[in-house]
């Protein structure tokens, strides 16, 4: 069992009479890509800022790399939602300065900055001022700035915001590379397709409280039990044991009766000589789960 | 409370120092003083005495071209030769008004018929009401009247003495009764040099703390502050900035001193200036102490102000409150010439926000009582940690309030919660 890199226990944060974070608990294990999700104003950014020791909690505890917030700064990288860099400094100067603030020696910082700039295709801009970069380039630069000191834990708030599809794919692949290197990543984003592609575990918060938490695959199974995606040219409306049949383009989404498993359905299709082009156990898109759960939470 | 990391403070200080050293504003400001000195030197070299006479004419307090209408029994007719360059007799008031409107004269004096009994003189100026005050304060104008009143009535030597009653030779005594130099050199060494050094120190305090305000406001406006605060504490950030920009201010002073030395003939000249200072070395040492204390206090205040504004301009408006406090000693500085140890000056010396600037102004002018020196230093030294603590709290609170300016009640509540 991997060790815990982030432990959040009963976290509370209030601003006067408004409770931004309300008894929030979750853990992040080493090597995880962990999704911190929620609608606007749910308390995600506040939680992240408490983790980064920018805000202080009113109650509860947080441990990052087995230390209180602020004690392990040099091992944590942070990409905030509010983007910003030193506009009048050169690209490399910014990276080296931020790396040195994390405790990295200057020479090592310069070397690593060069390597990362190459990775995001900004090598030619190393000696240009930040203000000369386009917005997308500055976003990539800020992403790189969170990694320049080779942290163990990286916290990213909306890393894909403002990027074109090519750069979204670049950042996505870099996040996967980081995970393969053994880094732990906490990711907060509204791009749920990216969460599905990257995250192992998630917590969904609303009004500062957790309303969904755990392994992503398990959550999706929970919200889509006995559902099968089938592509066939035959008419199967007459088949028994179907609770619901929905057509989605070329595919059918079949919600099965509780008494029948997908394996039994497949056997039955074969027995009846019904041609099967695609057959898989379906899962509900995370976006649907998100909307459903948040709406249910609002009604309670 | 988290431990302070001195290494991070050093990195921040280095960054602030080097970044602002390269700023166009700093380079221009630092070069400006030596440039002005060079220009003055060149003017003096090429135009010599003419330049001094021109400056004296332009900057002096004596009236320029004066028209005189003599309605007395001829006391001022004709005008004595020594005054004819400046004082021109006119036929009547109408001619005088015409000459004034045509800018042939700057001031018209109408010496009334009953001048001898009542002293009545009407002063006419175009566009400004200060002409009468200039005449009243002018030694030259006074000498004009006395000379003409006594013309032919007393011994010429006595007439001259009455018109110019004294030529001052100044001697300053130390508290122990020793002469500290007389004459012009004495004034220069005991007053002028330390006073202007003090003015430069004060200027540097505000320039450096202004850079601090700008630096904080820019980091907040560009949002880079959140990344920085994930790496260092607010206190480390504030301390690093204060040290880095303080060093920048000292660099500026050093450049000015070196350029003054170069312009005035090298190290020998610098030594010649500093020897008189050694007669009162405590002035120089205390000036440095007050510089460091004053800069530290204003740096903390400016950084806090910088963190509260939503834009750089707004931050400057908030900081203007502290600028007014800083300017307060200058508002009374003219009174310090006659009474440097007056009660108001002493009270302002004890108050942390005005102490440094007031003491820097007072020290060259007189022997400041030891109690004032001790109390002013103690109040400032004890204030600094309190200001640093409160400043860091406000700094931290203000830095992340994007798009919303913290109100005074919010600031006070934040300090109470802390």
Q: Per the structure block, which two tokens stand in for A217?
A: 């695959």
Quote the ipTM score: 0.81
pLDDT value, residue B184: 57
Q: Mean pLDDT across chain A, nearest whole number?
A: 89
Q: Which B residues 352-411 touch A at CB under 8 Å? A: 400, 402
Q: Residues B92-149: pLDDT tens digits?
A: 999 999 998 998 888 899 999 999 999 899 998 877 666 677 777 778 888 899 999 9
What b-and-e string marks burial along B145-165, b requiring 16 or more CB atoms within 10 Å of the CB?
bbbbbbeeeeeeeebbeebee
Contact criterion met (CB < 8 Å) for B222 and A86: yes
Residue A17 at interface with chain B, using a CB cutoff of 8 Å: no
Distance between A70 CA and the closest CA of chain B, angstroms: 8
User: Which chain B residues have a beta carbon less than 8 Å from that of A83?
Assistant: 223
- For A285, counting Cβ atoms within 10 Å of its Cβ (0-12 exposed, 13-18 middle, 19+ buried), the class is middle
Contact criterion met (CB < 8 Å) for B2 and A83: no
Residue pair B243/B8 in contact (Cβ under 8 Å)? The answer is: no
User: What residues pair up with A4 in beta bridges, in sequence order?
Assistant: A29
Distance between B306 CA and the closest CA of chain A, angstroms: 16
Residue B227 has its nearest CB partner, among A55, A84, A89, at A84
Contact criterion met (CB < 8 Å) for A78 and B11: no
Distance between A239 CA and the closest CA of chain B, angstroms: 59
Q: Per the structure block, which two tokens stand in for B135?
A: 């005449």
Residue pair A76/A52 in contact (Cβ under 8 Å)? The answer is: yes
Residue B344 at interface with chain A, using a CB cutoff of 8 Å: no
This prediction's pTM: 0.75
Q: Which A residues 100-129 touch B at CB under 8 Å? A: 100-103
Residue B235 at interface with chain A, using a CB cutoff of 8 Å: no
Q: Per the structure block, which two tokens stand in for B37?
A: 């000195």
Q: Residues B22-45: pLDDT tens digits?
A: 888 888 888 887 787 777 777 766
Residue pair A252/A245 in contact (Cβ under 8 Å)? The answer is: yes
User: What residues pair up with B66 in beta bridges, in sequence order?
Assistant: B87, B107
User: Which chain A residues have a beta carbon less than 8 Å from that of B11?
Assistant: 97, 100-101
* Polymer length of chain B: 418
- The residue with greater pLDDT, B94 or A261, is B94
Q: Residues B159-214: pLDDT tens digits?
A: 888 888 877 776 666 656 766 555 555 565 556 666 666 677 777 777 778 888 88
Quickly tell me which residue has 């300053």 as its tokens. B172
- The residue with greater pLDDT, A225 or A82, is A82
Helices (H) and strands (E) in chain A, counts: 9, 13
Residue A30 at interface with chain B, using a CB cutoff of 8 Å: no
User: Which chain A residues have a beta carbon less than 8 Å from that of B219?
Assistant: 84, 86
Quickly tell me which residue has 């931004």 as its tokens. A20
User: CA-CA distance, A248 to A199, in Å (whole number)?
Assistant: 26
User: Which chain B residues have a beta carbon less than 8 Å from that of A86?
Assistant: 219, 222, 224
CA B349, chain centre distance (Å) = 17
Contact criterion met (CB < 8 Å) for B229 and A54: yes
User: What residues pair up with A256 in beta bridges, in sequence order?
Assistant: A242
Contact criterion met (CB < 8 Å) for A86 and B231: no
Residue A13 at interface with chain B, using a CB cutoff of 8 Å: no
Distance between A13 CA and the closest CA of chain B, angstroms: 14
Which of A77-91, A275-289, B210-224, B399-413 shows the lowest per-residue confidence on average (mean pLDDT)? B399-413
Q: Per the structure block, which two tokens stand in for A33?
A: 């890509």
User: CA-CA distance, A277 to A192, in Å (whole number)?
Assistant: 28
Mutate to test the interface with A, among B231, B234, B312, B399 (most CBs of A within 10 A): B231
Contact criterion met (CB < 8 Å) for B227 and A98: yes
Contact criterion met (CB < 8 Å) for A73 and B232: yes
User: CA-CA distance, B305 to B184, in Å (whole number)?
Assistant: 44
Q: Which B residues 202-231 touch A at CB under 8 Å? A: 219, 222-231
- pLDDT class for B1, splitting at 50, 70, 90? very low
**Extended beta strands in chain A, E state:** 4-15, 18-29, 33-37, 59-64, 76-79, 153-157, 184-188, 201-206, 209-215, 227-231, 242-248, 251-256, 278-281
Distance between B229 CA and the closest CA of chain A, angstroms: 6
């Amino acid at each position: 069992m991997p060790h815990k890199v982030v432990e959040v226990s009963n976290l509370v944060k209030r601003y006067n009479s408004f409770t931004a974070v309300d008894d929030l608990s979750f853990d992040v294990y080493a090597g995880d890509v962990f999704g911190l999700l929620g609608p606007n104003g749910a308390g995600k950014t506040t939680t992240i800022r408490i983790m980064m020791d920018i805000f202080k909690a009113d109650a509860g505890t947080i441990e990052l790399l087995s230390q209180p917030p602020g004690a392990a700064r040099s091992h944590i990288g942070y990409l905030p939602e509010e983007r910003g860099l030193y506009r009048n400094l050169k690209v490399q100067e910014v990276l080296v300065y931020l790396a040195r603030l994390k405790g990295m020696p200057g020479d090592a910082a310069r070397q690593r900055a060069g390597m990362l700039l190459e990775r995001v295709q900004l090598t030619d801009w190393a000696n240009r001022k930040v203000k000369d970069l386009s917005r997308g380039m500055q976003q990539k630069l800020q992403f790189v700035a969170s990694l320049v000191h080779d942290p163990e834990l990286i916290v990213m708030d909306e890393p894909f915001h403002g990027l074109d599809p090519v750069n979204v794919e670049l950042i996505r692949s870099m996040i996967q590379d980081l995970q393969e290197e053994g880094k732990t990543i906490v990711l907060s984003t509204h791009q749920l397709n990216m969460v599905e592609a990257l995250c192992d575990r998630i917590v969904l918060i609303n009004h500062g409280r957790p309303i969904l938490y755990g392994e992503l695959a398990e959550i999706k199974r929970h919200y889509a039990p006995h559902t099968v995606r089938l592509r066939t040219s035959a008419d199967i409306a007459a088949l028994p044991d179907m609770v619901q049949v929905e057509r989605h383009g070329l595919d059918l989404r079949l919600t099965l009766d509780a008494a029948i498993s997908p394996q039994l359905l497949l056997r039955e299709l074969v027995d009846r000589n019904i041609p099967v082009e695609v057959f898989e156990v379906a899962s509900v898109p995370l976006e649907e789960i998100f909307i459903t759960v948040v709406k249910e939470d609002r009604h309670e | 409370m988290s431990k302070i990391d001195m290494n991070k403070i050093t990195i921040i200080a280095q960054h602030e120092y080097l970044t602002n050293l390269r700023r166009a504003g700093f380079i221009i400001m630092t070069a400006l003083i030596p440039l002005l000195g060079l220009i003055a030197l060149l003017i003096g070299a090429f135009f010599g005495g003419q330049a001094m006479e021109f400056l004296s004419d332009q900057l002096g307090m004596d009236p320029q071209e004066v028209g005189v209408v003599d309605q007395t029994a001829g006391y001022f007719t004709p005008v004595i030769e020594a005054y004819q360059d400046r004082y021109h007799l006119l036929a009547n008031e109408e001619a005088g008004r015409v000459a004034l409107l045509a800018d042939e004269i700057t001031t018209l004096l109408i010496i009334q018929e009953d001048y001898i009994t009542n002293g009545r003189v009407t002063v006419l100026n175009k566009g400004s009401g200060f002409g009468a005050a200039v005449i009243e304060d002018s030694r030259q104008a006074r000498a004009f009247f006395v000379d003409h009143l006594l013309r032919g009535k007393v011994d010429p030597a006595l007439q001259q003495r009455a018109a110019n009653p004294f030529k001052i030779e100044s001697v300053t005594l130390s508290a122990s009764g020793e002469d500290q130099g007389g004459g012009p050199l004495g004034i220069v060494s005991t007053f002028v040099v330390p006073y202007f050094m003090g003015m430069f120190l004060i200027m540097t305090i505000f320039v450096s703390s202004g850079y601090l305000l700008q630096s904080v406001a820019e980091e907040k406006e560009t949002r880079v502050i959140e990344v920085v605060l994930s790496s260092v504490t607010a206190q480390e950030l504030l301390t690093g900035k204060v040290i880095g920009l303080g060093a920048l201010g000292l660099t500026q002073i050093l450049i000015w001193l070196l350029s003054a030395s170069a312009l005035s003939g090298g190290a020998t000249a610098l030594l010649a200036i500093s020897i008189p200072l050694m007669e009162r070395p405590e002035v120089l040492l205390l000036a440095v102490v007050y510089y460091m204390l004053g800069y530290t206090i204003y740096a903390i205040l400016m950084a806090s102000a910088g963190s509260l504004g939503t834009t750089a301009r707004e931050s400057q408006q908030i900081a203007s409150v502290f600028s007014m406090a800083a300017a307060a000693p200058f508002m009374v500085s003219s009174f310090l010439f006659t009474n440097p140890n007056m009660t108001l000056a002493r009270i302002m010396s004890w108050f942390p926000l005005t102490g440094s600037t007031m003491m820097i102004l007072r020290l060259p002018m007189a022997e400041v009582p030891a109690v004032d020196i001790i109390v002013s230093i103690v109040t400032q030294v004890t204030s600094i940690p309190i200001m640093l603590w409160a400043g860091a709290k406000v700094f931290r609170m203000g830095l992340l309030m994007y798009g919303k300016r913290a109100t005074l009640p919010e600031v006070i509540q934040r300090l109470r919660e802390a």
